Amino acid sequence: MIRRFTLALGTAALALTAPAVSQERPADLTELPPIPTDYTPDRLPWGDYDFTGTWPIENINQGHILFQRPEAYGDRFWVNDEEFERRLASARGDDSNFTQANDTGIGAGGTEGLEEWFLSTPWAKSTAMLVSPADGQLPDLTPHAMELFQAGRSGWVPGQAYDWVDDFDSWDRCVSRGFPASMYPFRYNNGIRVFQSPGYITIMLEMLGTRVIKIYDSEEVAHAAKWEEPVEAWMGNSRAWWEGKTLVIETTNIVSGDSATEDVYARSASPLNMATQFTGTLDVPAFNTVPMSTEAMTVERLTMTGPNIIMHELTYSDPQVYTEPWTTRLAWVRDDDYQFFEYACHEGNYMPRDYISASRAQQGRIARGEEEPVTAENDDRSRFARPFDHDPGTGPRPGFGPPPPPDNDAEQGEEAGEG
């Protein structure tokens, strides 16, 4: 996989000079107002609103706005001024570390533009991408889904050996990040490019996925066009229609299955996984093994709130897996200078073969008593059960930062005792 970096300075400059571009933070930080629809986008020659352009979500990743809400924010959808200033301070540090171009041509001019993105994108004051349930946490898995999750196998499960391709998930095998996981930021390749033609919108993702979506005349016609079972696709069957200035996209027929089966053709991708911005816990959604049933579906709502912002809202429901639906909301910010790079993952993807060869050799050593068995406790993949993203708005990362100030009263007491 190729790591890529993005210059966001052009985006920030556009946003600073444009009219209101996003949802403003309300006075009540526990309130989530509806997405505004007072901005009217330009129309294309055939009459559809013009959403074309490049809308990377890299700065959500770079700014460490997490998927689930950190506990420090409580029941708030928005950060306060002090927390926002901590995010800005972190962004300034990232910008200052940007390598400047020198006489040999190494480096790049300008900055990452992360601070400007925070200042010009009101959504960047959100406490998380997840807005429902109201506590900002993913709903529980159903008992059956939890069993499948715990029995699942992927390249991330601690204590698991690799013996065949069914021990790897779809992302390990460069097939798909899964859906809706593909619509959220990861650590690189976070470009989104939108094309339109009469009756269609195409959403091109920089990492493993292009969605060609037909736009129907009404919701009823779109529902009637749903694929019959058992036809499925990794990115599902997406059908769209306009509701005023908002494009609504319903997606069904996503590849269903689980990660516990040994039938590689019956394995699904996890709806949220390591190829999403990872905010795992000791339970879920670590390890890319959350199952997906045939009832899984999403409803996305794309609304332009200014010339350089599309608000993307997605509701995911799968009653066989999650005890209730969940909804995210994030801002796509225009940057037409953002460069896509080919995500040449599958070509030369020798990782599964090498893992299988090495694991089989290791299992032989274990069988001969030459090596201790691998368990969840002694496998370094256990780290994938812990979040490794940290929102700087909540303060220093636990275990980092300056030591706490001394307890003067305790010190004085000790000195008095010594006297």
CB neighbour class for 244 (10 Å; exposed up to 12, middle 13-18, buried from 19): exposed
Domain count of the chain? Answer: 1
Kindly indicate the confidence band of residue 343, based on its pLDDT and cuts at 50, 70 and 90: confident
Which pLDDT tens digit goes with each residue over 129-183?
A: 999 999 999 999 999 999 999 999 988 888 889 999 889 888 888 889 899 999 9
Which pLDDT tens digit goes with each residue over 82-111?
A: 999 999 999 998 888 776 666 666 665 556
> Which of residues 110 and 265 earns the better pLDDT score?
265
**Distance from the Cα of residue 346 to its chain's centroid:** 21
SS3 413: helix
d(CA 226, CA 313): 21
**What's the pTM?**
0.86
pLDDT at 353 over 60: yes
**Percent above pLDDT 90 for the chain:** 63
Contacts of 18 (CB under 8 A, 6+ apart): 306, 307, 308
- Residue 179: left if φ>0, alpha if ψ -120 to 50, beta else—which one? beta
Q: Domain for residue 188, yes or no?
A: yes
Kindly indicate the confidence band of residue 69, based on its pLDDT and cuts at 50, 70 and 90: very high
**Which runs of E-coded beta strand occur in 262-410?**
297-306, 309-317, 326-333
Q: Domain for residue 383, yes or no?
A: no
Q: Are 362 and 161 in contact (CB under 8 A)?
A: yes
Q: Domain for residue 380, yes or no?
A: no
Name the residue with tokens 């599958």: 346
Q: Domain for residue 405, yes or no?
A: no
Hey, CA dihedral for 38, 39, 43, 48, is it positive or negative?
Answer: negative
d(CA 186, CA 219): 32
Contacts of 364 (CB under 8 A, 6+ apart): none
Q: Token pair of 198, please?
A: 């009469």
Q: Domain for residue 412, yes or no?
A: no
As a whole number of Å, the end-to-end CA separation of the chain is 65
Domain coverage including residue 74: 9-333
d(CA 215, CA 249): 9
Q: Are 194 and 52 in contact (CB under 8 A)?
A: yes
Q: Domain for residue 349, yes or no?
A: no
Q: Domain for residue 415, yes or no?
A: no
d(CA 232, CA 303): 27
